[in-house]
Every structure is written in C-alpha cells, then in structure tokens.
Amino acid sequence: ILGARFDCVDTGFGENKPVDVVIRPEDVELVAPEEGIIHGTLTHSIFKGVHYEMEVMANGFEWLVQSTKMVPVGTKVGIKVDPFNIQIMKKPESEDEEAIGVNE
C-alpha cells in the first residue's frame, strides 16, 4: 500500500492479480513516526462525540482515522494496522459483476 509493505492474513489471491484493499478507519492506529509502516502528517481533526475523526496525509494519500485519542493537527505520525484488520477482496472484472455480486 503506497509503496509500504503490510502483513496480511488473507490468502488465496494470485500473484499480481488486481484486488481491493479495505481498512476501516477505526482499525488504523496512529503511533510515533518511527513505529509506523507509513509516515504522514495529521491535517484535520474533529470530535464526533465518542471519537475523533482525523485525516492524515501520507505519500499523497489521505487516510481517514477514527480514535478516542486526540492528536493535534500538524503532528507527524506513523500509521500501523493489525494484519487481521486488513481485508483483501477480488476486484470485480466488470461493472456488471460488481452490481450483481461475484457469488450470486
């Protein structure tokens, strides 16, 4: 992802086959830059009542992060994701396949 290598437990996908990678915002962990797999800067933060919704700009990509811990805007952060929280899905080969579902 973005030139970084994440461990993942999903298997059964062919080498160099197109896939979609899905990571939920609440599964992204903000850590010290030296502890992260990807490094970025926190660009936006808003308190949503239960959690903070934050945006991190890293390698030209914007990550949406949800956390109960507040991080000040402008902070340099690292991004970590537990391998069990990374979902890999076969990329639909056509819009028709996507609309009806692969296994229907």
Enter the pTM of the model.
Answer: 0.73
The amino acid occupying position 100 is: I
What confidence score (pLDDT) does residue 62 get? 95
Predicted local distance difference test score (pLDDT) of residue 101: 54
Domains in the chain with CATH codes: 19-91 (2.40.50.140)
Q: Residue 100: what are its φ and ψ, rounded to 5°?
A: -95, -15
DSSP track, the chain = -TT-----------TT--EEEE--GGGEEEE-GGG-SEEEEEEEEEE-SSSEEEEEEETTEEEEEEESS---TT-EEEEEE-GGG-EEEEPPSSHHHHHH-TT-
Residues 11-16, mean pLDDT to the nearest whole number: 76
Q: What are the tens digits of pLDDT across the range 33-88?
A: 999 989 999 999 999 999 999 999 998 999 999 999 999 999 999 999 998 888 88
The answer to whether 32 touches 78, Cβ cutoff 8 Å, is yes
Higher-pLDDT residue of 13, 23: 23
Distance CA 71, CA 22 (A): 24
Task: Calculate mean pLDDT across residues 80-97.
Answer: 80
